[in-house]
Amino acid sequence: MNFFKLHNSVFALSILCLLLCTPRIPALEKPKLDLSPEEWSKLKKGELTLRIEQVKDEKGRRGTKTNTFRLLNASPVSVWEVLYEPDKDYQWAPRIVRSRITKRGKNFLNIHYVFKTPIKTFQFHVHREYNSDKLIIESHLVENEKNDLSVSDGLYVLYPFEGGKKTVMSYSLYVVTNPNIPSIVTDYFAKQGCREWMENLKKRVESGGKWQKK
């Protein structure tokens, strides 16, 4: 049974509080929503804000950090419900052709993704930890699994907006591809992937979890 359907009556009393705890994220403070006036203006107009930074890790490998912001016309509850069902990501997420939950815990999920690009189809295993008190979802690659990425660290943060009727979402992603993956794939993640992901997520959430990609 869906977690939120099971606890919906509790969540309705307080959008920011669910009966869910996590051993890993409590030390992670919720980032302040630090947007410039220009970025706020874009969000309120229905536009997306994307920040991109090219970096190198300690091994000299090329990586990309992105931070995407989007105003969603849905409550944090609705957004969280979609993000808590990653086994359905293949229905709406761009280029994801398979998403399967491989392990469940009280506050975490492991997901196996198969991602298809015009150049290569590759896979990776993601560990997601859910902190409902802070409306934060943290993710990283599962060790000792076959991953075609060297690093994939993600962070979703939900900020209630207009009294909780809407949500400002921040999605941060740090990706380093393996040497055998063309750099164009990393560029896709940075310049187009996060944008497409957020746009499709917006459609999915605002449709009540019904919208599917063609």
Q: What is the DSSP string of 29-66?
A: PPPP----HHHHHHHHTT--EEEEEEEE-TT--EEEEE
Is residue 211 domain-resident? no
Residue 125: both structure tokens together: 């295993």
Q: How far is CA 4 from CA 27, 46, 77, 81, 150, in A?
A: 24, 27, 8, 6, 33
CA distance 75 to 83: 13
Q: Is residue 119 part of a domain?
A: yes
Note whether residue 213 is domain-resident: no
Spell out the SS3 assignment of 116-178. Answer: ECCCCEEEEEEEEEEECCCCEEEEEECCCCCCCEEEEEEEEEEEEECCCCEEEEEEEEEEEEC
* 101 occurs within a structural domain: yes
pLDDT < 50 positions in the chain: 1-27
Tell me the one-letter amino acid at 134.
K
Q: pLDDT value at position 124? A: 94
In a domain, 164, yes or no: yes
Q: Which pLDDT score, from 0 to 100, does residue 54 have?
A: 83
Position 186 scores a pLDDT of 65
Total domain count for the chain? Answer: 1
Residue 212 lies in a domain: no
Sheet strand arrangement including 108-116: 49-56, 62-72, 166-177, 149-161, 136-141, 121-131, 108-116, 96-104
Domain extent at residue 45? 3-206
Helix (H) or strand (E) run with residue 196 in it? helix 194-206
Residue 96 lies in a domain: yes
pLDDT of residue 148: 86
Q: For position 167, which CATH number holds? A: 3.30.530.20
Q: Are 178 and 124 in contact, with CB atoms under 8 Å apart?
A: no
Q: Can you say how many angstroms the Cα of residue 191 is from the centroid of all Cα atoms in its chain?
A: 16
Residue 89 within any structural domain of the chain: yes
H/E stretch holding 213:
none
